[in-house]
Amino acid sequence: MALNKSQYFGSCKHTLFSCSGCNASSSRRNLLKGLGGISMLSAMGGIPAQLLAQNVTGLVDTHHHFYPPAYQKAWFDWEDQRKIPHFPQQERWTREGAIADMNKAGVQKAILSMASTPGVWFDLPLPKVVEMVRSVNDYGAEMVRDFKGRFGLFAALNMLDVPSTLKEIEYVFDVLKADGVGIQTNYGDKWPGHPDFAPIFEELNRRRALVYFHPLAASCCGRLNTGTFPAVIEVPHDTTRAVVNLLLSGTLAKFRDIRWLFSHAGGTIPMLAGRINFFHGNAKNAAMFAPNGVEAELRRLYYDTANATHPAPMAALLKLIPSTQVVYGSDYPYVAMDTQVTALSQLGLDVQVLQQIQQVNANRLLARN
């Protein structure tokens, strides 16, 4: 069985980009450069031990991407076949460079996760997909071991094949001791509340797992011509779709022991919470999917600050949920960690709230049961 990415992500081929061609993807790279750039260490060798502890303040980054060599090669080959330019930040990525940038930003620990596009498939047959997922997770666990205390791991899952996904869940928790798992907000025409995923969430619930969601543009909507590229509008909107789908399907209500973490301040959830409640809060079956009310369900989720360290989204988020449910995230290497740390510190938040977001909440969320 081959997993054809166009089947799951639409004819756009790479839903992180606009389907009008590569100019949009180039524009996204320019935008990311404008956000502060990446202070990467370009040398491939090791760095002095004293540098590994430099300027560390205890901050925890829960939205931090990494690129195992085998995965990186498969990604670049896949892009080259489609004439898609590579992200320069990704091309320059090294383990040592990530540590150097963490030190610069005062980040004590970063939780490693995969970006959603292009996923782990690359039009591969299922056995090769399973092999790719395993290699990614083994590499992440190796980073955790090699840089003790500096990294954690949200392990990758393929999700599209339940039996192999359940086996990988067993492996990443029982053998690799992962902090949680990272999955996408959609898989083609299926959002996470789809019944096909129920056995996976049942096992994650049994393990009281931390489940982190990273968005990607839905296959339906990557071709919308709004003058920008999907990462600006469609990507955060898909986080909203995922949250609403998990809510209305009853998945959030059924699997109460899962700890749910969503990227980018929940996408547009803070702005649309009132509408979601208005249209669904009084539904006849509301007690089934929101036993304590719609907004109560939204308030018990966790949200990171990646690409949301702006006064408007943070004000909306903190108006909806308690500050205990917000954790710092950078979206590294696409956005520089130090610029996100600085932006967060300049929002005028109460000192206690800022400390909660920077480290206290994440340490509690990541604590082993």
Residue 37: which pLDDT band, with cuts at 50, 70 and 90?
A: very low
Higher pLDDT pick, 310 / 32: 310
Dist CA 224 CA 238 (whole Å): 14
**Does the pLDDT value for residue 9 go beyond 50?**
no
Q: Is the dihedral of CA 41, 328, 208, 267 positive or negative?
A: negative
Alpha carbon distance 165, 149 (integer Å): 28
Phi-psi category of residue 196: left, alpha or beta, with phi > 0 → left and psi -120 to 50 → alpha: alpha
State pLDDT tens for residues 241-293: 999 999 999 999 999 999 999 999 999 999 999 999 999 999 999 999 999 99
Q: Which two tokens stand for residue 137?
A: 């997770």
Residues in the chain: 369
Q: Is 326 left (phi over 0), alpha (psi -120 to 50) or beta?
A: beta
Question: What is the Cα–Cα distance from 160 to 88, expressed in whole angstroms?
Answer: 30
In tens, the pLDDT along 313-362 reads: 999 999 999 999 999 999 999 999 999 999 999 999 999 999 999 999 99
CATH superfamily of 8-37+49-366: Metal-dependent hydrolases (3.20.20.140)
pLDDT of res. 217? 82
